Structure 1
Amino acid sequence: MSFVESRISKIYIVFAFFYSIIGISQIKNTGLPDIANFKRTDYRAGTQNWCIGQDKNGTMYFANNDGLLQFDGSSWRTHRLPNRAAIRSLKIIGDKIFVGGYNEFGYFEPNSKGRLTYTSLALQVNENHRSQIDLVWKIHEIKGKVIFQSFEKNYIYDGKQLRQAEAPNRFQFSFEVNGALIFQDMINGLLRYDEGQFTTLPNTQALNGTEVWGIIALSPNRWLIATIDEGLFLYENQQLTHWDTEADSFMRKNSCLGGEIIQKNFIVLNSVLDGMIICDKNGKIIQHINRKKGVQNNTVLSSFVDNKNNLWLGLDNGIAFINESSPFTYFGSSYDLSTVYASAVFDGYLYVATNQGLFCHKWNKPFQEDSFNLIPGTTGQAWNIQVVEGQLFCGHNRGLLQIEGNKVVKNLNPNGYWGIKKIPGTDGFYVGSNYQGFAIFRKQGRNWSFVNNIEGMNKSANTFEVDGNTVWLKKDNLVYRMKLSSDFKKFSSVKTYENLAKDKKGIGSMQRLDGKIFFQTGNKFYTYAFDLDGFTPEKHYTALFRNLPSARYVQQDKLGNIWYVFNESMGLLQKKPDGSYQSNVSGLSNLTGFLVNDYFSINAIDQNDILIGLTEGLAHFDSNLPGTENKRPKAFIRTFSNPEDTLQVANLKGKIAYEIPYRSNKVKFVFSSPLYDNLENVEYSYMLKGFDEKWSHWTNMSVKEYTNLREGDYEMLVKVRNAYGVLSEPSAFTFTVSPPWYRHWLAYILYLSLAVLSIYLIRRRVRLQIRRNKYFETIEQRKIYLEKEARIRQEQYELEKEIERLQNEKLKIKILSKDKELVNNSLQVVKKNKVLNGIIHKMREIDTETLDEAAKFQLTKLNKSIIKEVNADKSWNDLEKHIRNVHFDFLKRLKDIHPDITPRELDLSTYLLMNMSTKEIAEIMNISGGGVELARYRLRKKLNLAKKENLTGYLMRI
């Protein structure tokens, strides 16, 4: 770097630093700041808000008709006075919030649980005089004392006791000015109060006929006095004069309700009829914000400048937040602008191309707050507005329009146009991109003319570049390289490219940077090489974009700054004097979601005036104004609650050891952060140590609940990310969930004692049980032995009985066998006797006369011998006797079943049971065979047998 360049760089740095210091106390006079309105339905309290304050944590408080409103950026709370009166004044001193209302004043202070509790100081006033307190309109702190001002008295509180000071006549309002307390007396004018004494300020009696609503110190000896109906006055060197300025004229017309100093060099003035104004110390109006400009109500009862130099307005109906610290202001619907596609400043006018037409407005400082004017003949879609060689052209749906002043002087071609670009190296020839392709225009002197349409391409877009005789077109994720013929009547060749490199699919953007055309995809930049008919990587811009979000559109303004679009947001690489770039992403996040898709419009007039097209108007960006976006936000755990208790953690002093019972192990956390700009983009991340293993995902939800926590120590960590992506330090709160009674350490001691006692008792019982078991085992063994012995004896007895039975059966069998044998022998004897009888019968048939005496004698002797044998035989009686002995049991059972059976039938039954044949039975019973069958038939009748039932079978079953 040369010596001259070094000196210039140092001078620029010094100038930039000096300008940044000035910029800190700068109210933008171009466009309107971002405004957020809070309606009564949002904060759920009264309509009017009379006073505003902010505590050390950044929490906002409002004196509301329903009580004290508290807003922490996440939620609203209302704290009411005991008599439910409206609060008209408030003053935050340390941890106390002093408030005053009708016949009531006192302070809210966090208790041991962080909840705001109210202490009434009005109770120290004599009970008979409390109804005379009236409205407490102002609260001041002077020399460690808090002064509550009503119309009749001052109530002075030193932290312990309350004393009273009567008004000389009747007070109106009071004000703190350079450490002094100034009262307006209705007769004596302005009074200085010091240690209980009132001193009249000279030449202020002229204010007696009006109400003073504000006194603002412009310097130690120069005060601005705002009255409700007489306008603005200056009190300087003990002289009271009208402040004859724009601000005074405005307030005379709209009635002033006081004001504030903002950014040290500007004054906020509230009005009854037309919102509020911000003027400089010379009374020149810099900003005017009313209902038309975005505030929901035109009556501003109070105003307050917070710790970030942003402005809060307490309205007659609602609350408004005005982001005065932002480098952005806006031209929106209040300026009659809609979607903006392009803008340009030319000949003292700001021209804006919108979807409704081309609008213009005087470009001067301060910017006049009136609407843009539609240029006649431009109603409809205006795509572009550009200055070409000292002349202004509008690419419009109706054609390429030449603009001079506030009118259309010529339509060069009625086709719809996106814009025009010069063909380098030619004598005034230009290429225009229109709805049907491309056309040629020529400039001769100051005259423009349409030449011809270019054949060979019927596609077009607003993204095109001209490089020599080559026209480049980016459309539908493709790049077209079109070579113009020498007569400019056609494209002699058209080639399409889908990729910039083999490993890089698609084409993200095409742009001209430092006069050269570049192609980009995935933040990798390429240039076209004609000798290779392909694209080669470029290192400088690739390195510049290496750590930036993936850009889908890149544009360089005339100051050398590079703007890019990613997702729905935009970023800036601001060029420094040494040629390097400074990245700015977070500062532009205000515009996220409001950029016009595929029609990115940047108009950098200078570093202080950069215009950006939006879907709802035009944004004005002053890149030299330091915003608050890079300041680290603060995260708070606002409340911690469980089913039994609630802690306002943000209000607690220092760390506390907090323990909750196990039955209340369901907890809820509410987070907050005093971030009031872009509330919808504030996000939280949290982690409960002891439960969560990692931080949660970022979320807009400011509430988190945990259920069924186990006993133990926990630490809740929360951090916040503002709308610009800047993170806070984690905020922490520790607590302990005590164990249930059955898991308490005393319970474990009891469990151990019970376990030891149980072991002792069990051991003792086991020993007794062992002894008892041994005893019972002995008894049992003895019993088993006796039972076994008895069983053996029984078995022995049964065995003996069985032996006896078997022997009896064997004996019976033997007897039966003998009886059977006897029966058989008896039957043989019977047969023998029968044979002998037959012989006797035959011998009787012998004729003895023919025999000799000896033969006759022998025959007679033989006959007598046979008869003797037959008569002496008792086999038949023995047979019947033995048959009855053998079948005694059978005969007994048969007799029991059939008592009327005869002995003869019993004998027959016995013979049948013995399975004797009819012939045998006939022989034994000495009857014929027919007699046997008849006896069988009668026996069946006697036994009541069915025809088919077998008689012998029946007898065997008995």
Structure 2
Amino acid sequence: MRTTKFHILVFLFLLSTILFGQVKNIGVPDIRNYKRTDYKGGTQNWSIDQDKNGNLYFANNNGLYQFDGSSWTKYALPNYTSARCVKVDESGKIYVGGYKELGYFKADSKGKLKYTSLSRLIKSKNNKELDFVWKIHIIKGEVIFQSFARAYIFKNNKLKILQAPKRFQFSFQINNTLYFQDTEAGLLEFKNGRLYPLKGTTALNNTEVWAMFKMPNDKLLIATLEKGLFIYSNEKITPWNTEADIFIKKNSSLGGVVIKDKFIVLNSVLNGIIISDLNGKITQHINRKKGLQNNTVLASFVDNKNNLWLGLDNGIAFINESSPFTYFGFSYDISTVYASVIHDGNLYVATNQGVFYHSWNGTFKEDAFALVEGTTAQAWNIQVINNELICANNIGALVIKGGKTIKVLDKNGYFGFKTIPNHPNFVIGSNYNGFAIFEKTSNGLEFKNQIAGFDKSSIFIELDNDYLWLKKDEFLYQMVLFDDLKKFKSIKIIQNLSATEKGFGSIQKINNNIYFQTNNHFYKYSKEQDLFYEDIKMSSVFKNIPKINTLTEDANGNLWYVFNESLGELIKNSDGSYTNIVAPFSNLTGNLVTNYLSVNTINPQNIFIGLTDGLAHYDSQLLNNIVTKPKVFIRSFSFPGDTIIFGNEKKIAEKYLIPYTANHVKFTFSSPTYENLENVEFSYKLEGFDDRWSNWSTISIKEYTYLREGNYKMKLKVRNSYGIQSEEAFVPFTVSPPWYRHFLAYLFYILLAVVSIFFIRNRIKIKIRKNKYYETVEQRRLYLEKESKIRQEQYELEKEIEKLKNDKLQIKILAKDKELVNNSLQVVKKNKILNGIIYKLKDINVESFDESTKFQFTKLNRSITKEVSADKSWKDLEKHIKNVHFDFLKRLKEKYPTISPRELDLSTYLLMNMSTKEIAEIMNISSGGVELARYRLRKKLELNKKENLIGFLMSI
């Protein structure tokens, strides 16, 4: 009853806290630190602001830095001046103040931020009167830059000067009211261009005011550097004696910010920040020990999602205040958590180092968890049984009370405990050597006996009225206990739940029924039929869920499951159905103790989840407050020669035209979703190129190369860590065709084709006319050539006829020559015969003849002699031969000048194809003489042995 009342009080307290605001007072929110190596800037960050697109701006020692969730961009001030303050107005102008410099950045036509200096409007010589600009305020269309000596009011492109009564310290804007602190006049209110002192505030002249906050009942809260916190009301300054005041006096204030007018963030010099309620009670304290990289906080800012950004003395920090998750980790001195439970006003956690506890009633902002004495070892479980706190520890079964181990029930190592149905006074414990029985007595639990006959151990056990079920490795054990609980009556090993489903996944109790699960199929056991049968209804619940490996039911009947080192929850509805929730737990992926899932649901606002590096606190009621649709931007659109930026208040045009030579395009993406950035994913699609959306990826850049000409539209969407998708962002653009495929080029091609056809047509006509003319000329030429050819042929024919006649004549001449030679030879023979007769007649003695005979003989002799001497045939032959073969003899003599007349005659005889005998008779030499003459002739003609003499003579 006492526990029930306590839970109700706790619930009412937490419910009021939730209704009051969203800052959790349990655990530490997720903190992300950005080092100077991340943003590549100076160490100190003095001021923070955010534009309408969600981009964040930081006034840094090295200039102005912009963060869009994906990338950091630096914007330098003139002369690389240090920036001290930044403020963004409704139009998107980013006003910046620094050392001897004030001005603003504004996006140009291509979305790039360009700086305009306003220092030039200050009339003072060389701007010597301008020192550091520390604050910027925007009120009723006026931009007010505050330095120590004066304030500069910028409106309608004009700059007016507001002189400090003595010396300004800082200035503060509360709604539409602006306050200044003067070192002599105290706090001043700025109205209608003038300063009006606040009565009773000169008491603060000896300290620096770093922040002012609006409080209920028109009160003002003032935070000083070293004197603490004060309330200004009814023209009086009074100390604000609260927890927050004590903290500031101890650690010094550097300003702060308000969260939803319900919580106050106070920066400190020495110890990080605190978040207090409007009563000064500290709700959170976040410092270096809790996860900040630096304890000196120079600036704080609440973004559009009510998350907190801190400008540190060295770096930047993001605190996810809107998340339903907070954490107990190394700063609370706990490590891997296997189980948790609330008992007697304390929160206990079983870890790998032992059991730790923390007061559940008290604040969690400072105190670490304390170790329960006597539990220093691996603690597998912590349970409340019969109103006793029992720990399953490596060193035994331990009873804990008041932060101490008061009893060791058994020194054997234990995994956990279960009550035994039908035996309400007994508890079974799973230990390293099997199972043990504990009995409930008036003195609490007492060890009774170790169950004999089985020595296998496991944390996964369930009991019903008939069996003890154990999952060990890939097997399921079905065991029956004797009624005396000292020994197992039967032990059966089961390898498969059905013929179709091989293996075994998990065992769990849901709605007081034991389910056996494998591959997301859930089975029950029928004792009567001795078989496992599938529960179709329960299997259908997990039909569209990835394969699970661990499942547990919490106190509210919700089902928590682990898949691929990720966590999911099936929330039980009033009608018995389940609603699957996965996205909120994505930031826990990889940090779960997957084989020992620990989910401790106290109520919907207090759910504890064991992690490998501590304990997570989950408030499911805050989930609806943060699940909003994220925004996405195509941050930049680049192509060779130009870059267009859309994240800086740049509106996307209807279409962008890029030349074909610049058809390599690059897109960068951003989403001002700063929670769980590692789980923010993009998906894109280039219409006109991609057929489908890309897979979800954390990569925030995409390039396309060698795009053909045409119309394209780059589409982009983002999915945050809660699985919520944004609306689509898009950029339309057109890639112009190359000059040779441009519309004008095609028009030129058509005109060129028409002109070419016209030109070719005329050329063809001219060609036809010319061809006809040339054809006529050619025909004339061919006619003349043919006529000439006929005449030539006729001439050739006549020559041939003449040649034939000549040849015929030559043949006749040769025949005549031959005949003449034969006649001449006959004459020679005749003369020879006649000479022989004359020679023989000389031997006749004519003296013996009578006169008449002698007369006749003398007459005969004279007649023969006359015949011989009167024959001139030989000389005629020689003359004829020389006349007929004159040309041959001339060519032969010209070619061979040394040839003799005798050899010329021989050559002529040979040309006439006369035989050796005939030549010998004509030349009056022997046949041997003819051969010798032939040899000499060959030698003079320089013929070798193989060459034919007569053929050579004929070739001449």
TM tier relative to shorter chain = 0.7 to 0.9
Matched residue, 1:515: 512
2:815 to 794, 800, 817: 817
SS at match of 1:241: strand
Shift of the alpha carbon at 1:319?
Answer: 1.4
Alignment of 1:419-818 (within 5 A): 419-426=416-423, 432-433=429-430, 438-443=434-439, 445=441, 446-449=444-447, 451-452=449-450, 455=453, 460-467=457-464, 470-476=467-473, 478-484=474-480, 486=482, 489=487, 492-498=490-496, 500-502=498-500, 504-530=501-527, 534-626=531-623, 629-652=626-649, 654-656=651-653, 659-660=656-657, 662=659, 664-709=662-707, 713-737=711-735, 756-818=754-816
Matched residue, 1:39: 35
**Distance verdict in 2 for CA 1:917–1:137, change over 3 Å:** closer
2:349 to 352, 366, 373: 352
Give the stretch that moved more between structures: 249-258 or 399-408: 399-408
Distance in 1 separating the partners of 2:253 and 2:885: 148
Matched residue, 2:269: 272
Distance in 2 separating the partners of 1:434 and 1:697: 47
**Distance verdict in 2 for CA 1:815–1:214, change over 3 Å:** same
Distance in 1 separating the partners of 2:94 and 2:887: 125
Distance in 2 separating the partners of 1:485 and 1:661: 81
The letter of the residue matching 2:216 is S
2:682–2:718 CA contact under 8 A, matched in 1:
yes
Matched residue, 1:52: 48
1:69–1:79 CA contact under 8 A, matched in 2:
yes
1:423–1:469 CA contact under 8 A, matched in 2:
no
2:475–2:503 CA contact under 8 A, matched in 1:
no
The letter of the residue matching 1:438 is G
Distance in 1 separating the partners of 2:686 and 2:254: 49
Give the stretch that moved more between structures: 647-656 or 838-847: 838-847
Give aligned-pair identity as a percent: 58
**Distance verdict in 2 for CA 1:119–1:862, change over 3 Å:** closer
Matched residue, 2:285: 288
Residue ranges of structure 1 left out of the alignment (5+ in a row): 1-11
**Distance verdict in 2 for CA 1:643–1:916, change over 3 Å:** closer
1:31–1:329 CA contact under 8 A, matched in 2:
yes
Distance in 1 separating the partners of 2:865 and 2:531: 162
Q: Deviations over 1:341-384 (max 9, x none)?
A: 33333344333333344433333343253333344555454443
Distance in 2 separating the partners of 1:426 and 1:830: 175
Alignment of 1:85-96 (within 5 A): 85-95=81-91, 96=93
Give the stretch that moved more between structures: 165-174 or 219-228: 165-174
1:332–1:338 CA contact under 8 A, matched in 2:
yes
**Distance verdict in 2 for CA 1:134–1:891, change over 3 Å:** closer
The letter of the residue matching 1:86 is S
Distance in 1 separating the partners of 2:556 and 2:346: 20
Distance in 1 separating the partners of 2:463 and 2:34: 51
Distance in 1 separating the partners of 2:479 and 2:864: 170
The letter of the residue matching 2:382 is I
Distance in 1 separating the partners of 2:843 and 2:353: 172
2:305 to 287, 300, 308: 308
Distance in 2 separating the partners of 1:793 and 1:454: 141
Give aligned pairs, total.
Answer: 940
Shift of the alpha carbon at 1:32?
Answer: 0.5
The letter of the residue matching 1:26 is Q
Distance in 2 separating the partners of 1:40 and 1:767: 82
Give the stretch that moved more between structures: 611-620 or 756-765: 756-765
Alignment of 1:229-378 (within 5 A): 229-367=226-364, 369-375=366-372, 378=375
Distance in 1 separating the partners of 2:812 and 2:249: 157
Distance in 1 separating the partners of 2:16 and 2:751: 75
**Distance verdict in 2 for CA 1:390–1:884, change over 3 Å:** farther
**Distance verdict in 2 for CA 1:844–1:653, change over 3 Å:** closer
1:309–1:325 CA contact under 8 A, matched in 2:
yes
1:586–1:630 CA contact under 8 A, matched in 2:
no
1:260–1:268 CA contact under 8 A, matched in 2:
yes
Residue ranges of structure 2 left out of the alignment (5+ in a row): 1-7
Matched residue, 1:8: none
SS at match of 1:579: coil
The letter of the residue matching 1:27 is V
Alignment of 1:14-413 (within 5 A): 22-23=18-19, 25-82=21-78, 84-95=80-91, 96-128=93-125, 130-177=127-174, 179-367=176-364, 369-375=366-372, 378-398=375-395, 400-408=397-405
The letter of the residue matching 2:27 is G
Give the stretch that moved more between structures: 253-262 or 437-446: 437-446
**Distance verdict in 2 for CA 1:915–1:106, change over 3 Å:** closer
2:655–2:731 CA contact under 8 A, matched in 1:
no
Distance in 2 separating the partners of 1:907 and 1:198: 155
1:454–1:491 CA contact under 8 A, matched in 2:
no
2:392–2:416 CA contact under 8 A, matched in 1:
yes
Shift of the alpha carbon at 1:890?
Answer: 4.5
Shift of the alpha carbon at 1:551?
Answer: 2.6
Shift of the alpha carbon at 1:816?
Answer: 1.8
SS at match of 2:628: coil
**Distance verdict in 2 for CA 1:277–1:44, change over 3 Å:** same
Matched residue, 2:920: 922
Shift of the alpha carbon at 1:917?
Answer: 5.0
Give the stretch that moved more between structures: 617-626 or 946-955: 946-955
**Distance verdict in 2 for CA 1:288–1:652, change over 3 Å:** closer
Distance in 1 separating the partners of 2:808 and 2:461: 134
Distance in 1 separating the partners of 2:97 and 2:920: 148
Q: Deviations over 1:133-191 (max 9, x none)?
A: 44433333444434333444443344454434444444333323454333334344433
The letter of the residue matching 2:435 is A
Shift of the alpha carbon at 1:578?
Answer: 4.4
**Distance verdict in 2 for CA 1:875–1:498, change over 3 Å:** farther
1:474–1:480 CA contact under 8 A, matched in 2:
yes
Matched residue, 2:3: none
The letter of the residue matching 2:680 is V
Distance in 2 separating the partners of 1:534 and 1:890: 136
Distance in 2 separating the partners of 1:302 and 1:296: 14
Matched residue, 1:7: none
Give the stretch that moved more between structures: 814-823 or 554-563: 814-823
Distance in 2 separating the partners of 1:381 and 1:119: 64
SS at match of 1:224: strand
Shift of the alpha carbon at 1:829?
Answer: 5.5
Distance in 2 separating the partners of 1:48 and 1:740: 51
Distance in 2 separating the partners of 1:308 and 1:747: 54
SS at match of 1:253: helix
The letter of the residue matching 2:96 is V
2:520–2:543 CA contact under 8 A, matched in 1:
yes
